[in-house]
Structure formats: structure tokens, C-alpha cells
Amino acid sequence: MKQWTALFLVMGALFTILFFTSDTFADETVTPTGEYVNLRDGPGLTYSVVGTLDAKKEATVLSTEGEWYEVKVGQQKGWVASWLVTAKSSEADVDAKADVIVATTDGLNVRSGPSIQSTVIGKMNAGVEAKRTLERDGWSYVTIDGMDGWVSNDYVQVIAANETDEPKQPDEEETTPLPTDDTFFVEVDQLNVRAEASLSSEKVGTVKRDESYLVLDRQDNWVQLALPNESKGWVYAFYGSFASDAPKQADDALVITTVADGTNVRTEPTTDAPIAKRLSAGEQFTVQREIDDWYAISVGGETAYVASWVVAKPSNDHVPSADKKASIPGTLNGISIVIDPGHGGRDRGTTGARGTKEKDLTLRTSHMLADKLRAAGASVHMTRESDVYVPLRTRAAVKDELGADAFISIHYDANTDSSIHGITSYYYHDNQQALTQTLNDSMMEAVSNNNRGAQFGDFLVIRENSADSVLLELGFLTNVAEEQLLTTTAFQEDITRGIYNGLLRYFND
């Protein structure tokens, strides 16, 4: 008898659990907080959309997983995000009208979750509008062209829902607006013109980037423009600037420039963080803030971090090098020098009779020279630290971008006549000749190679450069005997000591 009693109790408990569980889900319904919500075939934004649930419809909750509801509407089943719906049991009075956000930068990433680590599922360009149904931790959940995802609030402008309502009716005695003597400059590729100062107003045309129009009136975030053919219309003021209050760069704003192809920017200010993107040489960015030895910059509409030691920044107190002397006699303290290892990457330069690649030898020489100069107190920047390609114009720009005092381009020579040998020092402008001659004389004191002298040379890296820029050809790789000498450690030490001594002499005497 006791066994039967126990069995009935267990069965009763199981029935109760199943009954109430079934009733609980059957009684719970959800409705979208916006105009609609997508139904997906799984609990996540990466699952396919299988339908939609409109704002006026309720769906029955079948189960839950994480922050997702499995629901049924009619004969269709699917999953909806919990943050986009309201449960029937909720007492909250939810406004079904969503805000509108507008992207303020091109290439803004739309992600599967509210994090920079989440998968990118789409893009938004500057001026594109989207409806926002949720905000969380500095991110907005938006719907754009049937796609749902998250965008960073740092790169959008929010227009409250009540700003998109139908415009108020004008007074009976409407007066023609008077010109404000201001001009509006369009700063996005294409901007919609509307009949009234509202996103819900009729679209009456478009204006394009770099076009300018006389301002007739302003209303909140809207501006009325005088358009061709005596027409007029309203545009959202965020997408342009006014002649009267054109934004100016802050005096202390720091602009940095990448100096090599493949410069890494990372998701966090540490070399252990994932690489967010690789930049090309010559790209410029305004620094948002500095964190230790890292700069926070905006890349593709999102904040990323670049190391301060791989970019160039301007110097505001640079003294022309013709008048610049080392701050401590007998050293290079206070002197900034750019070393340019010739060629690199896909540009191998010349190849010696014995197979020596110029790009490898110039890098070896440059590193040895850099070590000597740093030991003497100089600030040294190399246009490349490894076997990468750097465009010539990028190399030539580094000196002025850094406010450096000298630019030394290291090369090895070649000629179809294999008997030609010796060292040549080149300048292009007159204000480069003094340093060129000083270095040439100093190198000849350090090595016994044939002296081809300091002479004029039409090379882009010195032609497109400023004072005290020099190109040094340290010998001919096409001469078998000289090639063998140039690759020795003894020659490398001697020639870099000669250049070093020449710079010491130039910036001290």
C-alpha cells in the first residue's frame, strides 16, 4: 500500500509541474515595443529572419533562452529579442514610437551585440537614418533596411520621437522668412530636403556635398535654405556647417600621421589586444585622448588605439636646423633625425653580383646608425623598421611631419659598368648642400672607398624635402669586390661611425 501511495504522489507532482509549466507559457504573451520586431529561426541576431511580429499583434511565449523568447504567432514560430518586446504581465506603459538616429560618419559598423567585440553584420554611412528601439551601455539597437543590430552612440545623432511628429500648423498669417545673411555648407554626399522641419514631412529634393545655400530660417535642429528656382526647403542642420560659426580645430588638438604601411591599430591600448585594422602610410587622425603611450583615434566610426611610437606628430617649437645646435656640446641631445632605409617590401632595390639585396643591406646599415645616434642623445625615427614597402612621398613627408632636424636616406648603388665603385653623397636644394658635404667628408675619414663626392641629384626623397635632407649611396653592389666589402661587419661599423661623426660635427660646430 505504501508503494502505491508513493507512486501516486510522484505522478501527481509530475502532473502539477507539467500543468503549471504549460499554463505559464500559454498565458504569457509579448508585443513589440516598436512598430515591429523580426522573428528569427534561432535565439540570436545572426540567425535568419523568418517573419515579423507587428506592433498590434501578440505572440505566445513557448520557451526562453538567455535574453530571447521562443514565440508562436498564428501557425508561425520564431525567436524574438526580449529587449524589443514587452511581456503582457508587465505593468510598464511603453511608448511604441521609436527614436530616430542618424549616422555621423561613413562606414559605421552595425554589430550583432552592444560591444566592439561583436560581429559586424552591416554598415551605415553618414546621413543615413535608422529607427532606435533600445539603448544600452552607450549602444543603440536600430533597424535599417530590414536589418537589426547595434551601433555605438559615439557616432550617431539622436532625434527624439517627438521631433519626428507631424509639424505644427502655421499661424494663419504666415510671413515670408527673411534671409539671415548666413550660408550653409553641405558636408554629406546627399542630404534630403523636406517641405517642413520634420523627418515625417514630404521630401521635396536633395542637396549634395560641397554645395552651399543661403540660410532663410532656423528651427531647433533644422535650417531652411534658399534653393534654385526661388524654391526653399528644410534640411537637418547636423549635416553641414554655417559660415558664421564654422568649426575650428582646438589649439591643442593633436593630429598624428601614420608613417608606414601596415600600421596596426588595436581594440585596446596594449600590444596584447586584437588588431582592429591595419592602416596605410600617410593617413592622418585627430587624437581623441592619450592613454600612456597610446593614442585613441576614430577608425571606421569606432574608437581604436595606435601606439605613439609608430606615428608622426608635428612639433610646434621646431627651430630650423640651419640654426639648431645640440643642447649639450659634444652630443646630439635635442636633435631629431629621420633615417630612411631605402627600398623595402616589394621594392627590393638593386641586387648585387653576389646576390645581395639592397633593401636588406640598407635596413641593416640604418639600424646600426640609429643605435649610434640614440646613444649620443638624438631622437631617431626610421621610415621603416622592417621589410615593408613605404611610398617615396610618404618617406619625404616624415621630416616635416615630425619637425625633425635632418633626413638621411641610406642606399647602395648600381651601374651597368661593373668597374664603377665608390661612395656618393647627394643633395637637391642649396640648403641641403652643407650637411651633404659634411657627411661626405666624415665618411671619407672613416673608410678608404673611392670618393665620388657630394653632388647634385634629382631624387624625390630629397627633392620633395626641406633643408638638411641627404641621400647617401654607400657603394656599388654591381662591383663584385666592393659588394664583398660592403656586406662585412667592419665596413658597416666604419661607415655608420663616419655618418655619426659627421652629424656630431654639423650640429655642434
Pairing of the two strands 302-307 and 336-341: unpaired
Neighbours of 165 (CB within 10 A): 12
Q: Which residues pair with 147 in a beta bridge?
A: 144
Pairwise CA distance, residues 99 & 140, whole Å: 10
Active-site position among 129, 473, 482, 483: 473
CB 386 within 8 A of CB 422: no
Report angle CA 368, 380, 473 to the nearest 5 degrees: 55
Q: How far is CA 195 from CA 55, 101, 150, 201, 224, in A?
A: 29, 20, 31, 6, 9
**No. of H helices and E strands in the chain?**
7, 35
Task: Please list, residue by residue across 128-163, b when 16 or more beta carbons sit within 10 angstroms of its beta carbon and e when fewer do.
Answer: bbbbbbbbeeebbbbbbeeebbbbbbebbbebeeeb
Pairing of the two strands 275-279 and 263-266: antiparallel
Catalytic status, residue 163: no
Pairing of the two strands 336-341 and 406-413: parallel
Q: Which of the residues are catalytic?
A: 473
